[in-house]
Chain A
Protein backbone atom coordinates (compact mmCIF):
# COMPACT_ATOMS: atom_id res chain seq x y z
CA UNK A 1 0.00 0.00 0.00
CA UNK A 2 1.62 3.26 -0.98
CA UNK A 3 0.20 6.57 0.01
CA UNK A 4 0.33 9.20 -2.67
CA UNK A 5 2.37 12.15 -1.52
CA UNK A 6 1.20 15.45 -2.85
CA UNK A 7 3.10 18.71 -2.79
CA UNK A 8 2.18 20.66 0.29
CA UNK A 9 0.01 23.57 -0.74
CA UNK A 10 0.67 26.62 1.34
CA UNK A 11 -2.46 27.67 3.09
CA UNK A 12 -3.53 30.58 5.20
CA UNK A 13 -5.38 30.11 8.50
CA UNK A 14 -8.68 30.63 6.75
CA UNK A 15 -7.72 27.94 4.29
CA UNK A 16 -10.47 25.71 5.53
CA UNK A 17 -12.58 27.41 2.91
CA UNK A 18 -9.97 27.46 0.18
CA UNK A 19 -10.65 25.47 -2.99
CA UNK A 20 -7.57 23.36 -2.18
CA UNK A 21 -9.54 21.68 0.57
CA UNK A 22 -11.87 19.90 -1.82
CA UNK A 23 -8.98 18.31 -3.69
CA UNK A 24 -7.27 17.25 -0.47
CA UNK A 25 -10.55 15.93 0.93
CA UNK A 26 -11.06 13.87 -2.20
CA UNK A 27 -7.64 12.33 -1.78
CA UNK A 28 -8.38 11.48 1.86
CA UNK A 29 -11.79 9.90 1.34
CA UNK A 30 -11.04 8.14 -1.94
CA UNK A 31 -9.72 4.76 -0.68
CA UNK A 32 -12.45 4.35 1.95
CA UNK A 33 -15.23 5.49 -0.38
CA UNK A 34 -14.08 3.29 -3.23
CA UNK A 35 -14.02 0.19 -1.02
CA UNK A 36 -17.31 1.19 0.59
CA UNK A 37 -18.99 1.43 -2.81
CA UNK A 38 -17.50 -1.80 -4.17
CA UNK A 39 -17.76 -4.09 -1.13
CA UNK A 40 -20.73 -2.71 0.78
CA UNK A 41 -23.08 -0.49 -1.24
CA UNK A 42 -22.93 -2.45 -4.48
CA UNK A 43 -23.29 -5.88 -2.80
CA UNK A 44 -26.26 -4.55 -0.82
CA UNK A 45 -28.06 -3.33 -3.93
CA UNK A 46 -27.16 -6.52 -5.71
CA UNK A 47 -28.36 -8.68 -2.85
CA UNK A 48 -31.75 -6.98 -3.04
CA UNK A 49 -31.78 -7.39 -6.84
CA UNK A 50 -30.81 -11.07 -6.70
CA UNK A 51 -33.70 -11.75 -4.35
CA UNK A 52 -36.02 -11.08 -7.32
CA UNK A 53 -34.19 -13.52 -9.59
CA UNK A 54 -33.62 -17.24 -9.88
CA UNK A 55 -29.84 -16.88 -9.63
CA UNK A 56 -27.97 -20.17 -9.15
CA UNK A 57 -24.35 -18.97 -9.49
CA UNK A 58 -23.76 -21.08 -12.59
CA UNK A 59 -25.96 -19.47 -15.23
CA UNK A 60 -27.03 -15.85 -15.80
CA UNK A 61 -29.86 -14.89 -13.47
CA UNK A 62 -33.46 -14.75 -14.74
CA UNK A 63 -35.95 -12.23 -13.42
CA UNK A 64 -38.42 -14.06 -11.21
CA UNK A 65 -40.48 -11.22 -9.80
CA UNK A 66 -41.94 -12.03 -6.43
CA UNK A 67 -41.55 -15.81 -6.78
CA UNK A 68 -38.92 -16.09 -4.05
CA UNK A 69 -41.02 -14.05 -1.65
CA UNK A 70 -44.10 -16.13 -2.40
CA UNK A 71 -42.08 -19.24 -1.74
CA UNK A 72 -40.75 -17.74 1.49
CA UNK A 73 -44.22 -17.06 2.86
CA UNK A 74 -45.21 -20.68 2.20
CA UNK A 75 -41.94 -22.26 3.32
CA UNK A 76 -42.40 -24.09 6.65
CA UNK A 77 -38.61 -24.45 7.04
CA UNK A 78 -38.22 -20.67 6.87
CA UNK A 79 -40.85 -20.01 9.53
CA UNK A 80 -39.41 -22.78 11.62
CA UNK A 81 -35.92 -21.31 11.45
CA UNK A 82 -37.25 -17.83 12.20
CA UNK A 83 -38.84 -19.34 15.31
CA UNK A 84 -35.59 -21.07 16.29
CA UNK A 85 -33.66 -17.83 15.77
CA UNK A 86 -36.16 -15.88 17.89
CA UNK A 87 -35.89 -18.45 20.66
CA UNK A 88 -32.12 -18.08 20.54
CA UNK A 89 -32.31 -14.26 20.56
CA UNK A 90 -34.69 -14.13 23.53
CA UNK A 91 -32.58 -16.47 25.69
CA UNK A 92 -29.27 -14.94 24.64
CA UNK A 93 -30.35 -11.33 25.15
CA UNK A 94 -32.29 -11.98 28.34
CA UNK A 95 -29.48 -13.80 30.11
CA UNK A 96 -26.71 -11.68 28.67
CA UNK A 97 -28.26 -8.36 29.67
CA UNK A 98 -28.98 -9.43 33.24
CA UNK A 99 -25.54 -11.00 33.78
CA UNK A 100 -23.71 -8.12 32.08
CA UNK A 101 -25.56 -5.60 34.25
CA UNK A 102 -24.67 -7.62 37.34
CA UNK A 103 -20.98 -7.80 36.40
CA UNK A 104 -20.87 -4.11 35.49
CA UNK A 105 -22.50 -3.02 38.76
CA UNK A 106 -20.22 -5.33 40.78
CA UNK A 107 -17.15 -3.93 39.04
CA UNK A 108 -18.40 -0.41 39.56
CA UNK A 109 -19.24 -0.80 43.23
CA UNK A 110 -16.55 -3.16 44.48
CA UNK A 111 -13.35 -3.02 42.56
CA UNK A 112 -11.04 -0.86 40.55
CA UNK A 113 -8.90 -3.74 39.38
CA UNK A 114 -7.92 -3.76 35.72
CA UNK A 115 -6.93 -7.42 36.04
CA UNK A 116 -10.50 -8.37 36.81
CA UNK A 117 -11.76 -6.44 33.80
CA UNK A 118 -9.21 -8.31 31.73
CA UNK A 119 -10.43 -11.68 33.04
CA UNK A 120 -14.03 -10.80 32.28
CA UNK A 121 -13.02 -9.93 28.72
CA UNK A 122 -10.98 -13.12 28.17
CA UNK A 123 -13.71 -15.18 26.44
CA UNK A 124 -14.20 -12.35 23.94
CA UNK A 125 -10.68 -13.03 22.66
CA UNK A 126 -11.46 -16.53 21.40
CA UNK A 127 -13.48 -17.10 18.27
CA UNK A 128 -17.05 -18.40 18.32
CA UNK A 129 -15.58 -21.52 16.73
CA UNK A 130 -13.24 -22.11 19.68
CA UNK A 131 -15.99 -21.31 22.19
CA UNK A 132 -18.34 -23.74 20.48
CA UNK A 133 -15.82 -26.60 20.36
CA UNK A 134 -14.68 -26.16 23.97
CA UNK A 135 -18.21 -26.22 25.35
CA UNK A 136 -19.08 -29.09 23.06
CA UNK A 137 -16.37 -31.00 24.91
CA UNK A 138 -17.26 -29.80 28.42
CA UNK A 139 -20.92 -30.68 27.88
CA UNK A 140 -20.33 -33.93 25.97
CA UNK A 141 -22.90 -36.54 26.96
CA UNK A 142 -20.44 -39.38 27.62
CA UNK A 143 -17.18 -37.71 28.61
CA UNK A 144 -17.98 -34.08 29.38
CA UNK A 145 -17.07 -32.83 32.82
CA UNK A 146 -20.29 -30.79 32.80
CA UNK A 147 -22.29 -33.99 32.70
CA UNK A 148 -20.16 -35.44 35.51
CA UNK A 149 -21.39 -32.50 37.57
CA UNK A 150 -24.99 -33.06 36.45
CA UNK A 151 -24.70 -36.69 37.54
CA UNK A 152 -23.06 -35.72 40.83
CA UNK A 153 -26.02 -33.44 41.51
CA UNK A 154 -28.24 -36.50 41.15
CA UNK A 155 -29.73 -35.93 37.69
CA UNK A 156 -29.53 -38.00 34.52
CA UNK A 157 -26.93 -37.02 31.94
CA UNK A 158 -28.17 -34.39 29.50
CA UNK A 159 -27.44 -34.39 25.78
CA UNK A 160 -26.95 -30.63 25.78
CA UNK A 161 -26.24 -30.36 22.05
CA UNK A 162 -28.07 -33.49 20.93
CA UNK A 163 -31.47 -32.98 22.53
CA UNK A 164 -33.91 -30.82 20.56
CA UNK A 165 -35.17 -28.91 23.60
CA UNK A 166 -31.70 -28.33 25.12
CA UNK A 167 -29.68 -27.43 22.04
CA UNK A 168 -30.77 -23.83 21.44
CA UNK A 169 -30.62 -22.74 25.10
CA UNK A 170 -27.17 -24.36 25.33
CA UNK A 171 -25.86 -22.55 22.25
CA UNK A 172 -27.40 -19.30 23.48
CA UNK A 173 -25.55 -19.68 26.79
CA UNK A 174 -22.26 -20.53 25.08
CA UNK A 175 -22.54 -17.23 23.24
CA UNK A 176 -23.43 -15.46 26.47
CA UNK A 177 -20.19 -16.87 27.90
CA UNK A 178 -18.28 -15.42 24.99
CA UNK A 179 -19.86 -11.97 24.79
CA UNK A 180 -21.05 -11.09 28.26
CA UNK A 181 -17.75 -9.58 29.40
CA UNK A 182 -17.62 -7.25 26.43
CA UNK A 183 -21.22 -6.19 27.00
CA UNK A 184 -20.48 -5.68 30.70
CA UNK A 185 -17.58 -3.39 29.84
CA UNK A 186 -19.80 -1.25 27.61
CA UNK A 187 -22.33 -0.94 30.43
CA UNK A 188 -19.51 -0.28 32.88
CA UNK A 189 -18.35 2.62 30.71
CA UNK A 190 -21.89 4.00 30.98
CA UNK A 191 -21.91 3.57 34.76
CA UNK A 192 -18.77 5.64 35.06
CA UNK A 193 -20.55 8.59 33.50
CA UNK A 194 -23.07 8.75 36.35
CA UNK A 195 -21.93 11.48 38.76
CA UNK A 196 -21.12 10.16 42.28
CA UNK A 197 -23.08 13.05 43.81
CA UNK A 198 -26.31 11.40 42.67
CA UNK A 199 -25.41 8.29 44.67
CA UNK A 200 -24.46 10.36 47.69
CA UNK A 201 -27.82 12.08 47.58
CA UNK A 202 -29.49 8.68 47.44
CA UNK A 203 -27.52 7.49 50.45
CA UNK A 204 -28.42 10.58 52.44
CA UNK A 205 -32.07 9.79 51.76
CA UNK A 206 -31.43 6.32 53.18
CA UNK A 207 -31.78 4.25 50.00
CA UNK A 208 -30.44 0.66 50.22
CA UNK A 209 -28.45 -1.23 47.56
CA UNK A 210 -31.47 -2.52 45.69
CA UNK A 211 -33.37 0.74 45.88
CA UNK A 212 -30.33 2.65 44.65
CA UNK A 213 -29.99 0.30 41.71
CA UNK A 214 -33.66 0.47 40.81
CA UNK A 215 -34.24 4.18 41.29
CA UNK A 216 -30.88 5.66 40.34
CA UNK A 217 -28.68 3.34 38.31
CA UNK A 218 -31.26 1.81 35.97
CA UNK A 219 -33.03 5.04 34.94
CA UNK A 220 -29.74 6.85 34.35
CA UNK A 221 -28.32 3.91 32.43
CA UNK A 222 -31.24 3.77 30.06
CA UNK A 223 -29.60 5.42 27.04
CA UNK A 224 -26.50 3.25 27.40
CA UNK A 225 -28.56 0.11 27.89
CA UNK A 226 -30.68 0.86 24.84
CA UNK A 227 -27.63 1.27 22.68
CA UNK A 228 -26.04 -1.93 24.02
CA UNK A 229 -29.34 -3.75 23.45
CA UNK A 230 -29.58 -2.60 19.84
CA UNK A 231 -26.04 -3.81 19.17
CA UNK A 232 -26.51 -7.16 20.89
CA UNK A 233 -29.95 -7.89 19.42
CA UNK A 234 -28.82 -7.13 15.88
CA UNK A 235 -25.72 -9.26 16.48
CA UNK A 236 -27.58 -12.23 17.92
CA UNK A 237 -30.08 -12.41 15.06
CA UNK A 238 -27.10 -13.14 12.84
CA UNK A 239 -25.90 -16.15 14.84
CA UNK A 240 -24.09 -18.71 12.71
CA UNK A 241 -20.58 -19.75 13.79
CA UNK A 242 -21.41 -21.45 17.07
CA UNK A 243 -24.26 -23.44 15.57
CA UNK A 244 -22.22 -24.38 12.52
CA UNK A 245 -19.40 -25.99 14.52
CA UNK A 246 -21.53 -27.67 17.20
CA UNK A 247 -24.88 -29.00 15.95
CA UNK A 248 -24.94 -27.79 12.34
CA UNK A 249 -28.71 -27.39 12.54
CA UNK A 250 -29.41 -30.82 14.02
CA UNK A 251 -31.23 -32.58 15.63
CA UNK A 252 -33.88 -32.44 12.88
CA UNK A 253 -33.66 -28.68 12.21
CA UNK A 254 -34.03 -27.89 15.93
CA UNK A 255 -31.05 -25.53 15.69
CA UNK A 256 -31.51 -24.50 12.06
CA UNK A 257 -31.07 -20.75 12.61
CA UNK A 258 -31.72 -18.33 9.75
CA UNK A 259 -28.10 -17.83 8.73
CA UNK A 260 -27.54 -21.56 8.63
CA UNK A 261 -30.55 -21.96 6.36
CA UNK A 262 -29.29 -19.16 4.10
CA UNK A 263 -25.84 -20.77 3.91
CA UNK A 264 -27.33 -24.17 3.18
CA UNK A 265 -29.60 -22.82 0.43
CA UNK A 266 -26.79 -20.89 -1.23
CA UNK A 267 -23.84 -23.26 -0.96
CA UNK A 268 -25.40 -26.70 -0.79
CA UNK A 269 -28.30 -26.17 -3.18
CA UNK A 270 -27.02 -23.15 -5.14
CA UNK A 271 -30.35 -21.32 -4.74
CA UNK A 272 -28.75 -17.91 -4.43
CA UNK A 273 -31.92 -16.07 -5.42
CA UNK A 274 -34.01 -17.61 -2.69
CA UNK A 275 -31.20 -17.33 -0.14
CA UNK A 276 -30.98 -13.61 -0.97
CA UNK A 277 -34.73 -13.21 -0.41
CA UNK A 278 -34.38 -14.68 3.08
CA UNK A 279 -31.45 -12.34 3.75
CA UNK A 280 -33.60 -9.38 2.69
CA UNK A 281 -36.35 -10.57 5.03
CA UNK A 282 -33.86 -10.76 7.89
CA UNK A 283 -32.57 -7.29 7.07
CA UNK A 284 -36.13 -5.91 7.20
CA UNK A 285 -36.71 -7.60 10.57
CA UNK A 286 -33.49 -6.10 11.94
CA UNK A 287 -34.29 -2.63 10.61
CA UNK A 288 -37.71 -2.81 12.27
CA UNK A 289 -36.17 -3.98 15.54
CA UNK A 290 -33.62 -1.15 15.45
CA UNK A 291 -36.25 1.50 14.70
CA UNK A 292 -38.54 0.28 17.48
CA UNK A 293 -35.70 0.13 19.98
CA UNK A 294 -34.48 3.55 18.94
CA UNK A 295 -37.98 4.98 19.46
CA UNK A 296 -38.14 3.45 22.93
CA UNK A 297 -34.73 4.92 23.65
CA UNK A 298 -35.82 8.40 22.60
CA UNK A 299 -38.85 8.03 24.83
CA UNK A 300 -36.62 7.12 27.74
CA UNK A 301 -34.09 9.92 27.62
CA UNK A 302 -31.76 9.94 30.59
CA UNK A 303 -32.55 12.39 33.34
CA UNK A 304 -28.95 13.59 33.34
CA UNK A 305 -29.33 16.99 31.69
Chain B
Protein backbone atom coordinates (compact mmCIF):
# COMPACT_ATOMS: atom_id res chain seq x y z
CA UNK B 1 0.00 0.00 0.00
CA UNK B 2 2.95 2.28 0.73
CA UNK B 3 4.32 1.71 -2.76
CA UNK B 4 0.93 2.49 -4.30
CA UNK B 5 0.61 5.72 -2.31
CA UNK B 6 4.14 6.74 -3.34
CA UNK B 7 3.55 6.18 -7.06
CA UNK B 8 0.18 7.92 -6.79
CA UNK B 9 1.47 11.05 -5.12
CA UNK B 10 5.03 11.37 -6.43
CA UNK B 11 4.09 13.13 -9.70
CA UNK B 12 2.24 15.79 -7.72
CA UNK B 13 5.31 16.45 -5.60
CA UNK B 14 7.60 16.43 -8.64
CA UNK B 15 5.34 18.95 -10.37
CA UNK B 16 5.79 21.38 -7.47
CA UNK B 17 9.49 20.70 -6.99
CA UNK B 18 10.12 21.41 -10.69
CA UNK B 19 7.86 24.46 -10.80
CA UNK B 20 9.92 26.18 -8.09
CA UNK B 21 13.25 25.52 -9.81
CA UNK B 22 15.00 27.28 -12.68
CA UNK B 23 15.57 25.46 -15.96
CA UNK B 24 19.34 25.95 -15.86
CA UNK B 25 19.60 24.36 -12.43
CA UNK B 26 17.22 21.53 -13.37
CA UNK B 27 19.60 20.44 -16.10
CA UNK B 28 22.45 20.23 -13.58
CA UNK B 29 20.63 18.38 -10.80
CA UNK B 30 17.90 16.29 -12.39
CA UNK B 31 17.44 14.02 -9.37
CA UNK B 32 17.65 16.50 -6.52
CA UNK B 33 14.59 15.87 -4.34
CA UNK B 34 14.21 19.55 -3.42
CA UNK B 35 13.67 22.49 -5.77
CA UNK B 36 16.99 23.53 -7.29
CA UNK B 37 17.86 27.24 -7.32
CA UNK B 38 14.47 28.10 -5.79
CA UNK B 39 12.55 30.55 -7.94
CA UNK B 40 9.04 31.75 -8.70
CA UNK B 41 10.01 32.24 -12.34
CA UNK B 42 7.90 29.40 -13.65
CA UNK B 43 4.76 30.74 -12.02
CA UNK B 44 5.56 34.28 -13.12
CA UNK B 45 5.81 33.07 -16.71
CA UNK B 46 2.48 31.28 -16.44
CA UNK B 47 0.73 34.38 -15.16
CA UNK B 48 2.47 36.53 -17.76
CA UNK B 49 4.16 38.60 -15.04
CA UNK B 50 7.67 38.15 -16.31
CA UNK B 51 9.21 40.45 -18.88
CA UNK B 52 10.05 38.76 -22.18
CA UNK B 53 13.81 39.23 -21.66
CA UNK B 54 13.69 37.62 -18.22
CA UNK B 55 11.57 34.78 -19.54
CA UNK B 56 13.94 34.06 -22.39
CA UNK B 57 16.92 34.27 -20.03
CA UNK B 58 15.33 31.68 -17.76
CA UNK B 59 14.61 29.30 -20.62
CA UNK B 60 11.01 30.31 -21.22
CA UNK B 61 9.58 30.69 -24.70
CA UNK B 62 8.56 34.29 -24.22
CA UNK B 63 5.09 33.15 -25.26
CA UNK B 64 2.88 33.66 -22.26
CA UNK B 65 -0.14 31.76 -21.19
CA UNK B 66 -3.09 34.13 -20.91
CA UNK B 67 -3.85 32.23 -17.79
CA UNK B 68 -6.63 34.19 -16.10
CA UNK B 69 -8.67 34.21 -19.26
CA UNK B 70 -8.39 30.44 -19.78
CA UNK B 71 -9.13 29.84 -16.13
CA UNK B 72 -12.29 31.97 -16.40
CA UNK B 73 -13.28 30.04 -19.56
CA UNK B 74 -12.73 26.69 -17.84
CA UNK B 75 -14.75 27.73 -14.80
CA UNK B 76 -17.57 29.07 -16.95
CA UNK B 77 -17.74 25.99 -19.20
CA UNK B 78 -17.55 23.46 -16.35
CA UNK B 79 -20.10 25.36 -14.26
CA UNK B 80 -22.60 25.76 -17.08
CA UNK B 81 -22.20 22.17 -18.25
CA UNK B 82 -22.68 20.84 -14.73
CA UNK B 83 -25.62 23.07 -13.84
CA UNK B 84 -27.57 22.45 -17.05
CA UNK B 85 -26.79 18.75 -17.29
CA UNK B 86 -27.73 18.00 -13.69
CA UNK B 87 -30.88 20.15 -13.74
CA UNK B 88 -32.20 18.82 -17.05
CA UNK B 89 -31.37 15.20 -16.22
CA UNK B 90 -32.99 15.50 -12.81
CA UNK B 91 -36.16 16.91 -14.36
CA UNK B 92 -36.27 14.17 -16.98
CA UNK B 93 -35.43 11.49 -14.42
CA UNK B 94 -38.33 12.71 -12.28
CA UNK B 95 -40.77 12.35 -15.17
CA UNK B 96 -39.43 8.87 -15.94
CA UNK B 97 -39.49 7.74 -12.32
CA UNK B 98 -42.53 9.37 -10.74
CA UNK B 99 -45.04 10.34 -13.39
CA UNK B 100 -47.30 8.06 -15.39
CA UNK B 101 -47.77 8.96 -19.01
CA UNK B 102 -48.18 7.22 -22.32
CA UNK B 103 -44.93 6.36 -24.07
CA UNK B 104 -42.86 6.82 -20.93
CA UNK B 105 -41.03 3.52 -20.98
CA UNK B 106 -40.48 3.60 -24.73
CA UNK B 107 -38.95 7.05 -24.47
CA UNK B 108 -36.78 5.99 -21.53
CA UNK B 109 -35.53 3.04 -23.57
CA UNK B 110 -34.73 5.48 -26.36
CA UNK B 111 -32.66 7.60 -23.95
CA UNK B 112 -30.83 4.52 -22.66
CA UNK B 113 -29.95 3.73 -26.26
CA UNK B 114 -27.71 6.80 -26.08
CA UNK B 115 -25.47 4.90 -23.65
CA UNK B 116 -24.49 2.65 -26.54
CA UNK B 117 -22.97 5.52 -28.51
CA UNK B 118 -19.27 6.06 -27.73
CA UNK B 119 -18.72 9.66 -26.64
CA UNK B 120 -16.14 10.39 -29.30
CA UNK B 121 -18.38 9.19 -32.10
CA UNK B 122 -20.54 12.29 -31.98
CA UNK B 123 -17.63 14.77 -31.87
CA UNK B 124 -17.09 15.14 -35.62
CA UNK B 125 -20.78 15.54 -36.57
CA UNK B 126 -21.22 17.86 -33.58
CA UNK B 127 -18.36 19.97 -34.88
CA UNK B 128 -20.12 20.21 -38.25
CA UNK B 129 -23.34 21.19 -36.47
CA UNK B 130 -21.63 23.86 -34.36
CA UNK B 131 -19.89 25.18 -37.46
CA UNK B 132 -23.21 25.48 -39.31
CA UNK B 133 -24.67 27.29 -36.33
CA UNK B 134 -21.79 29.75 -36.53
CA UNK B 135 -20.70 28.92 -32.98
CA UNK B 136 -17.16 27.70 -33.63
CA UNK B 137 -14.65 29.38 -31.30
CA UNK B 138 -17.37 30.69 -28.98
CA UNK B 139 -18.08 29.62 -25.42
CA UNK B 140 -21.66 28.50 -26.20
CA UNK B 141 -20.23 26.36 -28.99
CA UNK B 142 -17.85 24.65 -26.56
CA UNK B 143 -20.49 24.29 -23.84
CA UNK B 144 -23.73 23.21 -25.53
CA UNK B 145 -22.77 19.77 -26.86
CA UNK B 146 -20.93 18.97 -23.62
CA UNK B 147 -24.17 19.45 -21.69
CA UNK B 148 -25.88 16.65 -23.58
CA UNK B 149 -23.13 14.23 -24.63
CA UNK B 150 -23.21 12.33 -21.32
CA UNK B 151 -26.80 13.13 -20.42
CA UNK B 152 -28.26 9.59 -20.87
CA UNK B 153 -26.07 8.31 -18.08
CA UNK B 154 -27.07 11.16 -15.77
CA UNK B 155 -30.78 10.52 -16.40
CA UNK B 156 -30.34 6.81 -15.74
CA UNK B 157 -28.28 7.45 -12.59
CA UNK B 158 -30.77 9.88 -11.00
CA UNK B 159 -33.84 7.86 -11.98
CA UNK B 160 -32.53 4.98 -9.87
CA UNK B 161 -32.55 7.23 -6.80
CA UNK B 162 -35.89 8.90 -7.50
CA UNK B 163 -37.54 5.48 -7.78
CA UNK B 164 -36.66 4.80 -4.16
CA UNK B 165 -38.14 7.91 -2.59
CA UNK B 166 -41.30 7.01 -0.68
CA UNK B 167 -44.54 7.72 -2.48
CA UNK B 168 -46.40 8.78 0.70
CA UNK B 169 -44.44 12.00 1.18
CA UNK B 170 -45.10 13.04 -2.37
CA UNK B 171 -48.78 12.12 -2.24
CA UNK B 172 -49.19 14.12 0.98
CA UNK B 173 -47.71 17.22 -0.62
CA UNK B 174 -49.95 16.82 -3.65
CA UNK B 175 -53.04 16.52 -1.46
CA UNK B 176 -51.98 19.75 0.21
CA UNK B 177 -52.28 21.34 -3.20
CA UNK B 178 -48.64 21.62 -4.18
CA UNK B 179 -47.99 21.28 -7.90
CA UNK B 180 -45.62 18.78 -9.45
CA UNK B 181 -43.03 21.45 -10.15
CA UNK B 182 -43.03 22.56 -6.56
CA UNK B 183 -42.90 18.97 -5.29
CA UNK B 184 -39.89 18.33 -7.51
CA UNK B 185 -37.89 21.38 -6.41
CA UNK B 186 -38.94 21.47 -2.76
CA UNK B 187 -39.12 17.78 -2.00
CA UNK B 188 -37.53 15.41 -4.47
CA UNK B 189 -34.33 17.38 -5.13
CA UNK B 190 -33.54 18.08 -1.44
CA UNK B 191 -34.24 14.43 -0.56
CA UNK B 192 -31.75 13.32 -3.25
CA UNK B 193 -29.02 15.75 -2.22
CA UNK B 194 -26.32 13.07 -1.98
CA UNK B 195 -26.65 11.50 -5.45
CA UNK B 196 -27.22 14.92 -7.01
CA UNK B 197 -24.05 16.25 -5.35
CA UNK B 198 -22.02 13.21 -6.41
CA UNK B 199 -23.22 13.50 -9.99
CA UNK B 200 -22.49 17.24 -9.99
CA UNK B 201 -18.93 16.82 -8.77
CA UNK B 202 -18.13 14.04 -11.21
CA UNK B 203 -19.67 16.01 -14.06
CA UNK B 204 -17.65 19.07 -13.03
CA UNK B 205 -14.36 17.18 -12.94
CA UNK B 206 -15.10 15.56 -16.30
CA UNK B 207 -16.03 18.88 -17.92
CA UNK B 208 -12.98 20.60 -16.42
CA UNK B 209 -10.66 17.93 -17.78
CA UNK B 210 -12.26 17.61 -21.22
CA UNK B 211 -9.72 18.12 -23.99
CA UNK B 212 -10.74 16.53 -27.29
CA UNK B 213 -13.92 18.52 -27.87
CA UNK B 214 -12.54 21.99 -26.90
CA UNK B 215 -9.48 21.24 -29.04
CA UNK B 216 -11.79 20.85 -32.04
CA UNK B 217 -13.95 23.94 -31.55
CA UNK B 218 -11.70 26.64 -30.12
CA UNK B 219 -9.05 28.36 -32.18
CA UNK B 220 -8.31 31.45 -30.14
CA UNK B 221 -8.12 32.78 -26.61
CA UNK B 222 -11.75 33.86 -26.61
CA UNK B 223 -13.01 30.32 -26.09
CA UNK B 224 -9.88 28.40 -25.12
CA UNK B 225 -10.01 26.38 -21.92
CA UNK B 226 -7.10 25.39 -19.68
CA UNK B 227 -6.52 21.88 -21.01
CA UNK B 228 -6.09 23.17 -24.56
CA UNK B 229 -4.02 26.13 -23.34
CA UNK B 230 -1.65 23.69 -21.63
CA UNK B 231 -1.01 21.73 -24.79
CA UNK B 232 -0.42 25.00 -26.66
CA UNK B 233 2.01 26.10 -23.93
CA UNK B 234 3.78 22.76 -24.27
CA UNK B 235 4.05 23.22 -28.03
CA UNK B 236 5.68 26.68 -27.66
CA UNK B 237 9.07 25.12 -27.02
CA UNK B 238 11.89 27.65 -26.94
CA UNK B 239 15.11 27.03 -28.87
CA UNK B 240 16.99 26.11 -25.72
CA UNK B 241 14.76 23.12 -24.93
CA UNK B 242 11.50 22.68 -23.08
CA UNK B 243 10.67 25.18 -20.35
CA UNK B 244 9.99 22.48 -17.78
CA UNK B 245 9.77 24.84 -14.81
CA UNK B 246 7.13 26.92 -16.57
CA UNK B 247 5.28 23.88 -17.85
CA UNK B 248 5.14 22.26 -14.41
CA UNK B 249 3.95 25.53 -12.88
CA UNK B 250 1.21 25.62 -15.53
CA UNK B 251 0.09 22.01 -14.95
CA UNK B 252 0.11 22.59 -11.20
CA UNK B 253 -2.08 25.66 -11.45
CA UNK B 254 -4.42 23.85 -13.86
CA UNK B 255 -4.74 20.87 -11.53
CA UNK B 256 -5.07 22.84 -8.30
CA UNK B 257 -8.74 23.94 -8.52
CA UNK B 258 -10.00 20.36 -8.82
CA UNK B 259 -7.74 19.16 -6.00
CA UNK B 260 -9.07 21.93 -3.74
CA UNK B 261 -12.68 21.23 -4.74
CA UNK B 262 -12.13 17.56 -4.04
CA UNK B 263 -10.41 18.18 -0.70
CA UNK B 264 -13.43 20.21 0.41
CA UNK B 265 -15.93 17.56 -0.65
CA UNK B 266 -13.85 14.38 -0.56
CA UNK B 267 -15.76 12.51 2.10
CA UNK B 268 -19.01 12.89 0.26
CA UNK B 269 -17.71 11.70 -3.10
CA UNK B 270 -15.51 8.89 -1.93
CA UNK B 271 -18.27 7.36 0.10
CA UNK B 272 -20.96 7.66 -2.49
CA UNK B 273 -19.25 6.55 -5.67
CA UNK B 274 -21.25 3.45 -6.24
CA UNK B 275 -21.79 2.35 -9.73
CA UNK B 276 -21.15 5.34 -11.82
CA UNK B 277 -19.38 4.83 -15.05
CA UNK B 278 -18.37 8.37 -15.84
CA UNK B 279 -15.04 8.03 -17.54
- A residues near B, CB below 8 A? 1, 3, 5-13, 15-17, 21-22, 24-29, 31-33, 35-36, 38-44, 46-47, 50, 55, 57, 99, 102-103, 106, 110-111, 114, 116-131, 133-135, 137-138, 140, 142-145, 148-149, 177, 179, 181-182, 185-186, 189, 224, 227, 231-232, 234-235, 237-238, 240-241, 244-245, 259, 262-263, 266-267, 272, 275-276, 279-280, 282-283, 286-287, 290
Interface residue? B56 (CB, 8 A) = no
CA distance A39 to B152 in the complex (A): 12
* 25 A-B contacts (beta carbon < 8 Å): A3-B181, A21-B180, A22-B101, A29-B92, A31-B92, A32-B88, A32-B111, A43-B126, A50-B128, A106-B4, A117-B270, A126-B259, A127-B208, A128-B209, A133-B247, A134-B15, A137-B18, A145-B30, A177-B8, A234-B279, A240-B211, A244-B211, A244-B212, A245-B234, A282-B121
Chain A's interface: helix, strand, loop or mixed, by majority? Answer: helix
**Complex contacts, B247 vs chain A, CB 8 Å:** 133, 137
Query: Do the beta carbons of B148 and A40 come within 8 Å of each other?
Result: yes
**Complex contacts, B230 vs chain A, CB 8 Å:** 127, 129-130, 133, 245
Q: In chain B between 70 and 99, which residues have their CB closer than 8 angstroms to a CB of chain A?
A: 83-84, 87-89, 91-92, 94-96, 99
Query: Do the beta carbons of B30 and A148 come within 8 Å of each other?
Result: yes
Interface digits, B6-39 against A, CB 8 Å rule (1 contact, 0 not)? 0111111011001000000011001100000000
Query: Do the beta carbons of B9 and A122 come within 8 Å of each other?
Result: yes
Q: Which of B1, B107, B121, B231 has the most CB of A within 10 A?
A: B121
Chain B's interface: helix, strand, loop or mixed, by majority? Answer: helix
CA distance A234 to B278 in the complex (A): 12
Query: Do the beta carbons of B124 and A262 come within 8 Å of each other?
Result: yes
CA distance A25 to B104 in the complex (A): 9
**Complex contacts, A259 vs chain B, CB 8 Å:** 120, 212
Distance in angstroms from B178 CB to nearest chain A CB is: 6
Interface residue? B161 (CB, 8 A) = no
Distance in angstroms from B24 CB to nearest chain A CB is: 12
Query: Do the beta carbons of A231 and B99 come within 8 Å of each other?
Result: no
Q: Name the residue of chain A whose CB is nearest to the CB of B127.
A: A266
Distance in angstroms from B174 CB to nearest chain A CB is: 5
- B residues near A, CB below 8 A? 1, 4-5, 7-12, 14-15, 18, 26-27, 30-31, 83-84, 87-89, 91-92, 94-96, 99-102, 104, 107, 111, 114, 116-122, 124-129, 131, 144-145, 147-149, 151-152, 155, 171, 174-175, 177-182, 184, 205, 208-212, 215-216, 227, 230-231, 234, 244, 247-248, 251, 254-255, 258-259, 262-263, 266-267, 269-271, 273-277, 279
CA distance A42 to B127 in the complex (A): 12
Query: Do the beta carbons of A241 and B174 come within 8 Å of each other?
Result: no
Contact of A39 among B99, B122, B276 (CB under 8 A): B122
Query: Do the beta carbons of B171 and A13 come within 8 Å of each other?
Result: yes
**Complex contacts, B148 vs chain A, CB 8 Å:** 32, 35-36, 38-40
Distance in angstroms from A178 CB to nearest chain B CB is: 10
Assuming the contacts A33-B92, A186-B273, A262-B124, asked whether A13 and B175 have C-beta atoms less than 8 A apart, the reply is: yes
**Complex contacts, A36 vs chain B, CB 8 Å:** 111, 114, 148, 151-152
**Complex contacts, A99 vs chain B, CB 8 Å:** 4
**Complex contacts, A267 vs chain B, CB 8 Å:** 216
